[in-house]
Structure 1
Amino acid sequence: MTPPTPTPRILALDALRGLAVIGIVGMNVHAFALPGPAYYNPLSYGATSPLDYWVWLGSFVFIEDKFRTLFAMLFGAGCLILIERSGAAPWRAHYARTAVLLAIGLAHATLLASNDVLRAYALAGMALPLLAGLSARALINVALGLLLVHVALGLVALGAPLVAYHVGQGGHDALLWAERQFGRDAPTIAMLLEQGREGLAERIARRSLGIPAQLKAVAASLPLNLSAIALGMGLWRGGMLKGEWRTFRLQRIAGLSALVALPGLLLLAVWLVRTGFPAPLVGPVALVLSAPFDMALALSYAALAMAFLNKDSGLTRRLAMVGRLSLTNYLMTSVILSAIFASWGLGLFGEVTRWQSLALGLVPVAAMLAWSPWWVARIGQGPFERLWRAGAGALS
């Protein structure tokens, strides 16, 4: 039997994937450089100058969860592409891929990045049999419905400290929990600083024991991640991510989405600044209330990329090469950031300010842009893409 002719790659889609994996560095670097609460709250740690607060504002409005959402959208589109091309028994191959991805994500979270997203994508991918047969419109409606589920469940989960904060009495345990997660609780910050400076063997042991808790936390993010995945599937099936939409239509979608997203995000940022970043408010804003606006801005980024990265320019080709190695680049970013911040590297965890950590995030970005074209031209598929494919092939 003659093997099917490979489908030509879509340059703009590869470039968009490259933008997504580069953009994720803008927030991931803070997870490597600073104690956990500082990821969301600049007053927790690492803000010593006005520049640090401007960095927080720019990250909150333009980066935080936008590129993670975009990455999830592209994961959904990628899964649908593979399912459509798999022919007979597509679900066996799909579940083999998600199983291997989950294993890679667990290893990544244990060794390097506790905020790994691959685990969430793999678990959310288990639901794709329920979605893959839907039309583009139905997939987008599912995405919106799951987004509403995330907001509702998130407000229930984080509502107790928020109510206690506004009522001004009672709820001591809830307020203390919020302060430890999103605030400036000094013992918690000290504990996290010590934890962040532990050795590699200590980290592996601690995180290995915490895998059940990791998966529980990841499960809580499934409605949001599955929402983004469904949106990406809908945009592929509807033709946007295939490069079939006209530039004017893409520009209109980008503009409307940005008009929805940016005022909402700016208002939430002003709310946090005016109230002094209270921990009971930081959590709901960062994890729940901003989510619809994050998704809208991610959609705007996707539309802009498909509109303007469809020409075979040097920049587009370089971004496309980064995107073709997206899994490898995502994982190698963690290797580089660990080499900078972990105790077995330069040991800069907790030693830099917010703006300095963002600046150091340019190191893996430069590495991706430099090595990806060389690797693709000479070797082709990335090493972790090859591992993922080989592992899935062995299971299926």
Structure 2
Amino acid sequence: MNVIAFSMPANAYLNPRVWGGTGVLETALWATSFVLVEDKFRALFAMMFGAGIAILLGKRGAHPLRAHYARMGVLLAIGLIHAVVLANNDVLRIYAVCGLLLPLAVNWPVKRLLWAAGLLIAGQLAVSGYYAWAWLDYWHQRAGGMPVDPLPQEMAERTYGSHPDTTAAALARGKESFAERLVRRVSEPMLQVRFIVASIPSALAAMLLGVALWRSGLLAGEWDTRRAVRLARACAAVSVPVLLALAAWNILAGFDPIVTAANALVLSAPFDVVLGVGYAALAMAVFGGALKDRAITRRLAAAGRMALTNYLATSTIFAALFAGWGLGLFGEVSRAEALLLALVPIIAMLAWSPPWLARFRQGPAEWAWRSLASFTRLPFRRDRASRPLT
């Protein structure tokens, strides 16, 4: 999904009519992404992060909380640098902040974890829904031909639609030099703060679900295939019909920015998380079952063990393709072309991860993260011992 954020104006991430999305193919690609991809895999990634913290905190060692908070502090620094230098929508900042809170709940019973996740999602839905229903009430009045103030519609077009001024400003930012980007991003600290704060409830809810799925045995590989498939089917049955209906509403409304934003940011949110849980169950059923010992599973596992390295490398590749200091393809491709270019980092990470891990203990970003957090130069090559940082 990040290829859309790198390759075209920001509003196109939610609204395909903003850029490169007017044809049948582009609409179908958007709908497929909206129903099956967008925010589902972000939730799944957060679940895995939560499960990883539960695993690490469950290990015996001196000062486990001190080590955990050191890891989160370094991760926050990495995320802030990543956001300034490459990716406005960096998730590492959110994970680091949520990770600071997670030890408070990591030992809760599974039911309490599930309730807490549900309450966080419901709370965010209530708060954001309060504004969304006002947007939709205005849209309903305007769509019904009632006289309304045009200013809210213009504001919606500027924020979530294809207002020419917003698009022109986005295209200008996409063509800026590396130095210009650094100056702009450093001068916008409150944007980073608002992004993190707004994202905490959904990310923390997904992390709590990840801990619950680990503690329940699903992510630990303790469920049999049939049980995992049942959960995946149930999650799909609950979420996919609603997401299809929301996608259809967007299309029938002509991707009105009010409808598009309300559906993408508010109404779809709980169903995105539910489908993310379904994907987790399906992955465990498939890759922990019939494909457990296959070469493709080992290759995917290697890419997963280098998740931080591959995440940062993907941003680097996209910047090289689209940024003004790279090939400068920003605003030059359609949605279909952008999604095809997303295959570049996908193929690259699947190609380089296994041979890298055959020689090194972990990815370079993982090694740097853990070494900085422990103030120790940890083993990197498979035949090297650790020694203090100097």
Q: Render the CA deviation track for 1:261-316: whole Å, top value 9, x for unaligned.
A: 11011000011111111111111111111111111111111111111102111000
The reply to whether residue 199 of structure 1 matches residue 177 of structure 2 is yes
**Amino acid in the other structure paired with 1:373:** P
Match of 1:234 among 212, 215, 240: 212
2:91 maps to 117
Q: Render the CA deviation track for 1:362-393: whole Å, top value 9, x for unaligned.
A: 00000000000010111121000011101111
Give the superposed CA RMSD.
1.4
Match of 2:64 among 81, 90, 94: 90
Q: Quote the Cα distance in structure 2 between the aligned partners of 1:159 and 1:340.
A: 39
Match of 2:108 among 134, 154, 163: 134
Q: Quote the Cα distance in structure 2 between the aligned partners of 1:210 and 1:159.
A: 30
Q: Quote the Cα distance in structure 2 between the aligned partners of 1:76 and 1:329.
A: 19
Q: Quote the Cα distance in structure 2 between the aligned partners of 1:176 and 1:86.
A: 57
TM-score (ref. length: structure 1): 0.90
Q: Quote the Cα distance in structure 2 between the aligned partners of 1:269 and 1:68.
A: 19
Structure of higher RCO (CA pairs closer than 8 Å, 6+ residues apart):
1
The reply to whether residue 102 of structure 1 matches residue 76 of structure 2 is yes
Mark the runs of 5 or more structure 2 residues left unpaired by the alignment.
377-390
1:181 maps to 159
Deviation at 1:171, TM superposition (A): 5.7
Moved more, 49-58 or 223-232: 49-58
Deviation at 1:161, TM superposition (A): 3.1
Moved more, 85-94 or 217-226: 85-94
Match of 1:51 among 22, 25, 33: 25
Q: Quote the Cα distance in structure 1 between the aligned partners of 2:9 and 2:134.
A: 24
Q: Render the CA deviation track for 1:138-185: whole Å, top value 9, x for unaligned.
A: 111111111111111212344443332223355655433321221111
The reply to whether residue 390 of structure 1 matches residue 371 of structure 2 is yes
The 8 Å contact of residues 16 and 22 in structure 2, kept in 1 or not, is answered as no
TM-score (ref. length: structure 2): 0.92
Q: Quote the Cα distance in structure 2 between the aligned partners of 1:135 and 1:211.
A: 38
CA gap 1:171/1:99 in 2 versus in 1, 3 angstroms? farther
CA gap 1:92/1:170 in 2 versus in 1, 3 angstroms? farther
Q: Quote the Cα distance in structure 2 between the aligned partners of 1:352 and 1:48.
A: 13
1:23 maps to none
Mark the runs of 5 or more structure 1 residues left unpaired by the alignment.
1-26
1:3 maps to none
Match of 1:224 among 202, 214, 219: 202
Deviation at 1:237, TM superposition (A): 0.9
2:122 maps to 148
Deviation at 1:218, TM superposition (A): 1.6
Secondary structure of the residue aligned to 1:221 is helix
Q: Render the CA deviation track for 1:50-108: whole Å, top value 9, x for unaligned.
A: 21111101111111011111000000000111111153422211111111111000000
Secondary structure of the residue aligned to 1:277 is coil
Secondary structure of the residue aligned to 2:18 is coil
**Amino acid in the other structure paired with 2:111:** R
2:383 maps to none
Q: Quote the Cα distance in structure 1 between the aligned partners of 2:284 and 2:176.
A: 43
Q: Quote the Cα distance in structure 1 between the aligned partners of 2:56 and 2:191.
A: 31
Secondary structure of the residue aligned to 1:132 is coil
**Amino acid in the other structure paired with 1:148:** A
Task: Name the count of aligned residue pairs.
Answer: 369
Match of 1:254 among 226, 229, 232: 232
CA gap 1:278/1:383 in 2 versus in 1, 3 angstroms? same
